[in-house]
Structure 1
């Protein structure tokens, strides 16, 4: 049984997805409505991309079809702080139900989330950081051809180009 997965962080990078999920299929770009992209500071863990509720906002990403084996592999990479939830992703004129990894522990879940209630990283993750996380996200932005307006509005608050 296959599952559709909406990627929005470092899994946007096609080379990383190929290594982590060798059986995956590329489906196409997608948009998650009423949300926004952040880097969440996670207790005793490295900061990582996350999505939070934000009425009127949106997150651009990419939809992949995963085999059961690919999904199990990705579960290990994503770790225990992320939970899998099914969300409706806009793909052109239709919506697809996709599995999305969300870290609910490290953000407020009360209605519209204001900046003050989100535990975000106050410092940009530069491409030169040891974790290479910013570099992987930047490669994914290019691979998936995310819109420049979206990238500048949301991602560049946290990750340099």
Structure 2
């Protein structure tokens, strides 16, 4: 009996994925905002690195666009196309009234909206797709949620398009 128990423990330890279900789109968004919610004050100098955090959860196409932005920043030694924190839709933050809502999920796509007050009502809409059996962020849009509507101010993929030199 001890041997059977030990074998079961070793099998589960070798396959930690079995112990936890894949992250839902809402879980992924919650994790992205955790550093901001843990310390919601504005004017920090140690920003969480929202593009890095999103890159880790991005679809192949969005990851390629983000990497191009990073390459541009290295080449230009500064800002290229994005000069604000995409998760808070601003440069500074003092988040209040934070909420996350999954708006839809069907056919391998999902939409999640994070809404908050950051010196005014704001939000970020995340569009997810399934890639390789996991949820990946394929688009982000910043704007203002108004009831069931969302007024889009920017789309990440449009901002990350290469600029002509």
User: Is the TM-score greater than 0.5?
Assistant: no
Task: Give the structure with the larger helix fraction.
Answer: 2
Structure 1 or 2, whichever has the larger Rg, is: 2
